[in-house]
Structure 1
Amino acid sequence: MNNGYELQGTGSKGEGVFATRFFQVGETVMVGVIDLELDHNHAHASQVSEKRFVLHGGLTSKVNHSCDPNCGVRLNASGAHDYLARQPITEGQEITFDYAMRNYSVEHFAAHCQCGSSRCRGRITGWKDLPAARKADYDGFVAPYLTDIDQRASEQEADKATRNESVVPQPTAQEDPGQ
């Protein structure tokens, strides 16, 4: 059965998944399936919630990283990642996504990214390391727990700033307020 993609050799990166038909923006390219629950993050782990990591089964686990990906991620009913087209994907084009779209922290890859994109960051990073402009560019194509983490961090920073502003400094015992 042809689902619109197949595994092929990429030359420099080993294997990758390539489109065998056209996909339009927003179309589901691949449906994710969880193969195994994990107790921690590692090089092949997919983060599917703030503290849950899994191995995906099937060819979704073979989709390569790109710093300028043609796919984004969406959680499906099983909690796995589906890949959906961020841009039109033509027959023969490699299907890619940015690993930062699913993992808050990525620390398990070589120092140098091999995606070859003109937007390459130089290394594969997690969501926490993306600049705000890149995060905005990925809006609607990332796992929701990543934006939830950012939202909580922003709220905590705002609360902290509010608390600091409401504290009026009092003169110390050594200071004389009458002088």
Structure 2
Amino acid sequence: MREQANVSGGYELQRTDAKGEGVFATRFFQAGETVMVGTIDHELDHNHAHASQVSEGRFVLHGGLIPKVNHSCEPNCGIRLNADGAHDLVARRPIPAEHEITFDYAMRNYSVDHFAAHCRCGSPRCRDRITGWKDLPAERKAAYLGFTAPYLTDYDSRRATESAGRLARTAGAGTDRPPLAEVANHD
């Protein structure tokens, strides 16, 4: 059933058997090609099922059909921040016409607490729950590099640097030896 279409853009809203509505390709998309251009409809004061997190404390609702794109634990699209601060959907692999366009909601939101039911993506790599970036294993995060909201990887980098600093301070604590820089300066 075709409810809303953007044939020139290469996608349309259709009913699915298991998930209600979904967005489907009406043409072939190559890997790396922008599938949907994001626009920000309005700012939100909190996270919810259709919210996109565009920075640590900023949530927006995208306009158009992006809020209708379903989650998948093995998505064919990823997120790329555009010049307006919205998320574009970019093909991670080729997407044939008539295939559903999907992305992992963890690619945009650090925390996802509003999907209590089991995930219905049907992927062999399904996590059984729709989770946020903070809950993804390291290998999944690595597979998504270049296809996530930039603040997520920036946040992980910042946390890793802070953790390394704490470890270095802890490792040096409790010893009677001066720091390495002081040892090097003694003749």
TM-score, normalization by structure 1: 0.93
Displacement of 1:169 after TM fit? 5.3
* Partner residue in 2 for 1:87: 93
Displacement of 1:78 after TM fit? 0.9
1:41-68 deviations in Å (ceiling 9; x for gaps)? 1122110111100001101111000000
- Counting aligned pairs with the same residue, the percent is 72
Displacement of 1:110 after TM fit? 2.4
Q: Does 1:107 align with 2:113?
A: yes
SS in 1 for 2:35: strand
1:96-145 deviations in Å (ceiling 9; x for gaps)? 00000000000000231010000000100000000000000111101110
SS in 1 for 2:13: strand
Measured in 1, the distance between the counterparts of 2:79 and 2:127 equals 19
User: Structure 2 stretches of 5 or more lacking a match?
Assistant: 1-5, 177-187
Matches within 5 A, 1:52-67: 52-67=58-73
* Partner residue in 2 for 1:41: 47
Displacement of 1:71 after TM fit? 0.1
Q: Does 1:133 align with 2:136?
A: no
Measured in 2, the distance between the counterparts of 1:110 and 1:40 equals 17
* Partner residue in 2 for 1:13: 19
Measured in 2, the distance between the counterparts of 1:39 and 1:157 equals 30
Measured in 2, the distance between the counterparts of 1:142 and 1:121 equals 18
SS in 2 for 1:17: strand
| Number of matched pairs | 170
Measured in 1, the distance between the counterparts of 2:107 and 2:169 equals 33
Measured in 2, the distance between the counterparts of 1:36 and 1:139 equals 27
